[in-house]
Amino acid sequence: MLDVLRAKPVIEGKSVKIKQILPSRKCRNLNPFLRIDHFNIDQGGFPNQLHHGFEGIFYLFSGEIHHEDSMANFFDIKPGGAELFTAGAGLIHAELVENKAHGIRVWIDLPEDKKYMKPSYQRFEALDFPEVTSKGVCVRTVVGEGSPLKPQTNVEMLDVTLCSKSVFKYIIPENFNGFLYVVVGSIKIKGKVIQASEMICMKSGDDIVMLSNTGARVLLCFGEPHEGKLSHAQSYDTI
């Protein structure tokens, strides 16, 4: 039986309300993922923070978010665009919102031999990501085969939009852990209805057959675990 978990509301950054998908009370260790958040905010954002030992992806559904960091990167992320910062030995960064931003941020642990690597930054626009539409299902590959976004860990991240009465099938890659999160709408898997803001954790070899009667947008994110337990990635607010 599927264990359906609901994202919990938390306060982050400039007193903005977000939904924390992971970690959750029932799913604290989903190696290699440290944290996943769903944000839909009007203004404010996430001011300067000092990170090291992991990397982070910001993927934007709509709106606009401004990125700046201690490597002198200053960019605006548009709808469908994404960025990846690899904090490594240490990086100060901020994501600021002036007028609405809706998206997902994913923190991925770095393997021990890369935790003190030189920091780096990647950014790509919506048209840079491969997209395939078939039988009422649109799949955008944010991370994975064909995507220009290249994290240090072997990860797949798919943005799946289902029209009403459509079906999407997917097999989790061997030796991967991951999760499925419903952004909008609802889906049914093995007779279980999963609503917006709900997720399920999944493991290597699991088959996903999801049906949406009314339409839905779903994020699939899977990664190859690092050896041992997740280490503690450091994060500090600087202002």
pLDDT tens per residue, range 126-171: 999 999 999 999 999 999 999 999 999 999 999 999 999 999 999 8
Q: For residue 234, is pLDDT > 50?
A: no
- Using DSSP's 3-state secondary structure scheme, residue 215 falls into coil
- Using DSSP's 3-state secondary structure scheme, residue 113 falls into helix
Q: 4-27 pLDDT, tens per residue?
A: 899 999 998 777 889 999 887 777
Whether pTM exceeds 0.75: yes
Q: 75-103 pLDDT, tens per residue?
A: 999 999 999 999 999 999 999 998 899 99
**Under 8 Å CB-to-CB from 209, ≥6 apart: which residues?**
167, 168, 169, 189, 190
Q: How far apart are CA 108 and CA 138, in angstroms?
A: 25
**What's the per-residue H, E or C state across 153-165?**
CCEEEEEEEECCC
> For the chain, what is the total number of helices (H) and then of strands (E)?
0, 22
Q: For residue 238, is pLDDT > 50?
A: no
Q: For residue 233, is pLDDT > 80?
A: no
**Under 8 Å CB-to-CB from 33, ≥6 apart: which residues?**
22, 106, 107, 108, 109, 177, 178, 179, 221, 223
Q: How far apart are CA 105 and CA 35, in angstroms?
A: 8
pLDDT score for 44: 87
pLDDT score for 113: 93
Domains and CATH numbers, the chain: 5-228 (2.60.120.10)
- What is the overall mean pLDDT for the chain? 90
